[in-house]
Structure 1
Amino acid sequence: GFNGSSNKGIDIGGNTGDPVVSIGNGSVAVTETLRGYGSVLMVDHGGSYMSVYTNVRSVLVKQGQRVQRGQKIAEIGTADAGHPKLHFEIRYRGKAVDPRQYLPAR
């Protein structure tokens, strides 16, 4: 889980191909592939907030595109460890904050 230093987000289990949806309205800031992280997608939500989604596949949005809360933006990929998961972070002014407080209640 999140600890702010060695783990700046949370891992969310799922199945390969499960939908990844935007946590809120915003603009796609980054879509790129990084070794060890799979595809990386970052959404700028304004007010110095950014959401980060890593280990995704089939990115469905483009840099600069506006997205809405709940919009499918990608699909879960398979981690280097060999099992599917989404790594999710929230950054405020560039610093990682606990993303659990931004997720809907289960």
Structure 2
Amino acid sequence: EPHVQRPTPQQSEPIVEKTPAEAPPLPPIPMRLTWPLRGGPPPTHTGTSFGEGLSAKATPGEPVHAAADATVLHGGWMRNFGNAIYLNHGNGIATFYGGLGIIYVKSGEKIRRGTKIALVGEIQGAESRFVFHVLKEGKSVDPRPWIEGAKQ
């Protein structure tokens, strides 16, 4: 099982200032959507609706930020996703971030909206992909409202 790289002290960034509860969620990375796009999902995507998350082209090393205040449920290796993070935002909402490299958070940690939680990973011989899911009461929901500027 691959080792989760932890940041050195100089890699860590301070947690951002507290934001009001009504603040809109932030996109985890500047999104360049690979799905959804016109023409439907790519052949590697088995889902048929936005309720199954999305995949975005991403530059290895690009920072990934928490969409909202949260508690880290998991930060580490996950089959089919490589390094990944699950965040619990309360009120039955959770987010999932996959295709990561270095992870800066650990299970049980409380973080603020905008906190840098990881870097996009590098996939040898393939284009790096960032995977993002929003779950409500444990079921995947359309993540588009969580991504500013996402276009259908």
TM-score (norm. length: structure 1): 0.88
Matched, 1:100 2:100: no
- Contact kept, 8 Å, 2:61 with 2:101, in 1: the verdict is yes
- Give matches, 1:1-106, under 5 Å: 1=35, 6-7=46-47, 8-79=52-123, 82-105=126-149
2: CA distance between counterparts of 1:94 and 1:10? 17
- Contact kept, 8 Å, 2:58 with 2:120, in 1: the verdict is yes
Aligned residues: 105
TM-score (norm. length: structure 2): 0.63
User: Counterpart of 2:106 in structure 1: which amino acid?
Assistant: K
User: Counterpart of 2:100 in structure 1: which amino acid?
Assistant: V
Structure with the larger strand share = 1
Secondary structure of 2:113's partner?
coil
2: CA distance between counterparts of 1:83 and 1:50? 26
Q: Which has the higher contact order (CA 8 A, sep 6+)?
A: 1
Identity level (%): 25
- Contact kept, 8 Å, 1:16 with 1:76, in 2: the verdict is yes
2: CA distance between counterparts of 1:104 and 1:65? 26
- Contact kept, 8 Å, 1:29 with 1:64, in 2: the verdict is yes
| Structure 1 residue runs without a partner (length 5+) | none
In angstroms, what is the RMSD of aligned CA positions? 2.1
Residue 33 (structure 1) shift: 0.6
Deviation track 1:2-48 (CA, whole Å, cap 9, x = no partner) reads 69xx4311112121000000000010011121233111100000000
| Structure 2 residue runs without a partner (length 5+) | 1-34, 41-45
Q: Which runs of 4+ in 1 moved over 4 A?
A: none
- Contact kept, 8 Å, 1:38 with 1:79, in 2: the verdict is no
The structure number with the bigger radius of gyration is 2
Residue 79 (structure 1) shift: 4.3
Secondary structure of 2:105's partner?
coil
- Contact kept, 8 Å, 1:37 with 1:79, in 2: the verdict is no
